[in-house]
Structure 1
Amino acid sequence: MSDISKQLVRVTVTPQLKRFLGEHIRLGNLLTYILMLAGIIDRNRKIAIKALSGASDDDPDLKSKLDQVDEDGAVSALADHFSLMKEMIVCRAVDNYLCYLTDLLSVIFKTRPETLRSNEQIRIDRVLAHNSMAELISYIADKKINELAYQSMTDLKRYLSDKLGFDLFNGDAQERLIIEIIQIRNLLVHNRGKLSEKFLEICPEFEGNIGDEIKLGTNQMFEIVNSLKLSIETIDSLAQAKYNLTETVEFEFREPFMSIRPDSIRPDLA
């Protein structure tokens, strides 16, 4: 089991980015813990077998028993279910991405209320239900965020560009990648990971046919998680500069995302 050295990183970030990074790290820690726990269980089982047998390391019977641990031990059981674990990580990573966008919009709307200007009407009784302008702005901001939450990523991008002059993606390639990642998450959640006609219409470059099941590789999982993180860090930096978001907090964490590679425990976890 080969560990990857994790470096301590201290940064000053916006509160919404801190929340995103906190969840990002939590996912990595969870996966690392599960992998290490499975490895420790098998290692301790082998230690117990050797101690109880009293045989030398080259004893054929002992070697057979130790090999059996590799075949039916905790790591082997984990390998049988690792595809589900990868799907869970991807789904949570996408949810974390979308939550960050909601947090960011809330901050922008409430600190820069002029961004809420529109021709939309609001009932007088709703206006009078609030005791201050700040409360009213918060209400309108939350209402707009709830509306945007049900829009597609393409529609959200268009809204931010047209209404706020803010580019959500750093070019067409990143836009296609993020939209594909979100659509993969939607398939995993709503269609048991099977390709649908709608998915292939939205992501025409994706290889596969209707009804095919998405198979996430470990490297693909890492690429998805890291792509979402890179996108959020770029968005946060641009938003800070454009909207003068001055509130920051100190944040300390360790990189990389995981301290152990799954395939270092067992090749078929790759």
Structure 2
Amino acid sequence: MNDQDDESINELEVFLPKGSTRCTQDFSKFLNEFRSHTDFFFFVCQLVGQVDQTRIAAAKALMPGAQSEDERRRYQKSIDEPNLVLKKLQKHSKILSQNLTNGIVNSFQRYFSSIIQSAALKKPVILSSSQTIKFDDILKFTKHKDLVSFIVDRKINELSYGGLTDMEKYFDERLGIKMFNDNNERGLLRLFVEARNINVHNGGVVNEIFAGRVGKVEKFPYKIGDLLRFDLDDLVSLSSNAMKVAVGIDVAVSAKFKLRCQTHTAWQVNGKTR
């Protein structure tokens, strides 16, 4: 992984904005969470590789001093199995993949909710709807900001059950901003969001709801009843796409609603992003 001032995407690197990129505080928090999830994932993968390398190097160094044939065989066996620890990690690839998927999608949805809250504080009319709020619920809040947060969180929670289509519709109708640049961005994020949903609610097994919402996605075949599997390249592609969509949203919303922006690095230096 590159440091915070690098911006790249290739076969093994996840797209990350530069630390000098201007953004909202909401996006800065999302970026920190995103980095935590991806950094941990790749840390585990790299650590396993280093363990195998160290194990083999140690066996080769100790081989000449072996005191018995049995000891020599043990060292040779270790040398002959260069990916021993990696193979053990691969047995848990489902958990690693699901943890990364769930973590990034959850962070994206929190960002989606928080950026709408920030826009609503600037222009409360975007919250207007035919839905009612109980008077008792209103009395729970003493600050306008907290009430807005409550309303938006409730709506986003409701929208999440309808999938990305409902979330996109709400964003378009209420904020007047398009979430995606093209159908490829839309399709990849929908796949990522729905993967998280079946991980949480169906053990990662593809069902009719998933298939109905996702449809066909190029290079991502799946079959109802099978466990949904993402390899490393898949996870890089899906994670990078989620970040690119968030970048686009942040630029558009901050400009339209005149939200405060500064560099991601500045948000951290100021101690306002954790």
TM-score normalised per structure 1: 0.78
1:35 matches 2:45: yes
Q: Which residue of 1 aligns with 2:19?
A: 10
Where in structure 2 are the equivalents of 1:23-62 lying within 5 Å?
23-54=33-64
Q: Is the 8 A contact 2:105 2:196 kept in 1?
A: yes
Higher relative contact order (CA 8 A, sep 6+): 1
TM-fit CA distance, 1:231? 0.5
Given the alignment, which residue of 187, 194, 204 partners 2:215? 204
Q: Is the 8 A contact 1:110 1:141 kept in 2?
A: no
Structure 1: unaligned runs, 5 residues or longer: 253-270
Distance 1:169 1:66, change over 3 A: same
Instruction: Find the aligned partners of 2:225 and 2:151 in 1 and give their Cα distance.
Output: 37
Offset of residue 124 of structure 1:
5.4
Aligned CA-pair RMSD: 2.8
Cα gap change, 1:210/1:54 in structure 2, threshold over 3 Å: closer, same or farther? same
Q: Deviations over 1:159-217 (max 9, x none)?
A: 22223322222233322322222111111221122111111111221544321221212
Percent identity, please: 20
- Mark the CA change 1:245 to 1:146 in structure 2 (over 3 Å): closer, same or farther: same
- Residue by residue over 1:136-175, the C-alpha shift from the partner in whole angstroms, topping out at 9 and shown as x without a partner, is 4531442233122221222222222223322222233322
**Alignment partner of 1:100 out of 103, 111, 123:** 111
Structure 1 residue 86 corresponds to structure 2 residue 100: no
Specify the code of the residue in structure 1 equivalent to 2:82.
D
- Cα distance in 2 for partners of 1:125, 1:91 equals 34
Report if aligned partners of 1:70, 1:76 keep a CA contact under 8 Å in 2. no
Matches of residues 151-190 of structure 1 in structure 2 within 5 Å?
151=159, 152=162, 153-190=164-201
Tell me whether 61-70 or 34-43 shows the greater mean CA deviation: 61-70
Partner amino acid for 1:13?
Answer: C
Alignment of 1:61-80 (within 5 A): 64-70=76-82, 73-80=84-91
TM norm structure 2: 0.76
User: Structure 2: which 5+ residue stretches go unaligned?
Assistant: 6-17, 67-71, 267-274
SS at structure 2 position matched to 1:54: helix
The residue type paired with residue 96 of structure 2 is M
Q: 1:43 to 1:240 in 2, by over 3 A?
A: same
Aligned residues: 242
- What is the rounded CA distance, in whole Å, between the counterparts of 1:225 and 1:69 in structure 2? 32
Structure 1 residue 6: Cα displacement: 4.7
